[in-house]
Amino acid sequence: MSMHSMTEEDRSRIAAEIKAAEARTAGEIYVVIDREVHAYRVVPVLWASLIALIAPWPLHLLTYWTTTTILVAQVLTFVVVTIIASHPAFHLALVPRFLAAERARNAARAQFMAHGVHLTENRTGVLIYVALTDRCVEIVADAGINNKVSQSEWDLLADQVAQAARANQMLEGLLVSIRRAGLLLEQHFPAAADDRNELPDHVVEI
């Protein structure tokens, strides 16, 4: 699976991995892949402001330009950098990682609620959220799981998927994370005879 396409075979493999993982545990695993290109409108302005603030100094120290000329150059610098930084080819590369991670965190929580992952009978749902364009991964676990599995363990799994995505091995990373999530859940929430599948096993693409 590439960053921009998913085949039916990919979807089937993910669904099969979810089903296999859930066969060993009372927990529920839900996967959402977000393909939307998110605009960070403030980022181009911030970069443009920073560069426009710095640019006049070398002009002032190293040239004989008048103050008016330097001020005009500063305004032009701001406009040009804003346009360049807003272009899709450069925009995402200029987004600070912490900003992309925060957006992914908030989006994952929203998806967790929107798809009813919090409504499982024993509060044992886990959401694996993958933001493709941001190359960020978040794993959100429900209250019943958080009492037994630390967030640091989920963060480690999420980081492994993100690293796989950066190496263009998204599918492999996702399958491994589902498998390991199932093993984590199995330790604390083993499958019971009366277990039922409360959430769909297929991957959701938005």
Domain shared by 74 and 115, yes or no: no
pLDDT for the residue 92: 78
Domain shared by 63 and 153, yes or no: no
Instruction: For residue 174, tell me if it sits in a domain.
Output: yes
- Intervals of the chain under pLDDT 50: 1
Domain shared by 100 and 146, yes or no: yes
| Domains in the chain, number | 2
Domain shared by 184 and 109, yes or no: yes
pLDDT for the residue 4: 56
Domain shared by 106 and 185, yes or no: yes
Instruction: For residue 166, tell me if it sits in a domain.
Output: yes
pLDDT for the residue 165: 82
| Coil, strand or helix at 172 | helix
Instruction: For residue 29, tell me if it sits in a domain.
Output: yes
Buried b (16+ CB within 10 A) or exposed e, 90-128: ebbebbeeeebbebbeebbeebbeebebeebebbbbbbb
Residue type (1 letter), 161: V
Domain shared by 30 and 46, yes or no: no
Domain shared by 70 and 124, yes or no: no
Domain shared by 157 and 134, yes or no: yes
Domain that holds residue 106: 8-38+96-205
Instruction: For residue 2, tell me if it sits in a domain.
Output: no
pLDDT for the residue 119: 93
The C-alpha atoms of residue 30 and residue 34 are separated, in whole angstroms, by 13
Instruction: For residue 115, tell me if it sits in a domain.
Output: yes
What are 38-48's pLDDT values in tens digits?
Answer: 778 899 999 99
CATH code of residue 170:
3.10.310.50
* Of the residues 60, 79, 94, the one at which a domain ends: 94
pLDDT for the residue 203: 93
The answer to whether 6 and 33 have CB atoms below 8 angstroms apart is yes
Domain shared by 12 and 86, yes or no: no
- Alpha helices in the chain, H assignment, sequence order: 8-22, 42-54, 56-62, 67-86, 88-91, 97-114, 143-146, 151-166, 170-188
Domain shared by 161 and 195, yes or no: yes
Domain shared by 34 and 46, yes or no: no
Element (H or E) spanning 31, and its range? strand 28-34
Q: What is the dihedral of CA 114, 116, 119, 122, to 10 degrees?
A: -120
Instruction: For residue 1, tell me if it sits in a domain.
Output: no
Which pTM value belongs to this model? 0.82
Domain shared by 57 and 140, yes or no: no
* Of the residues 94, 127, 158, the one at which a domain ends: 94
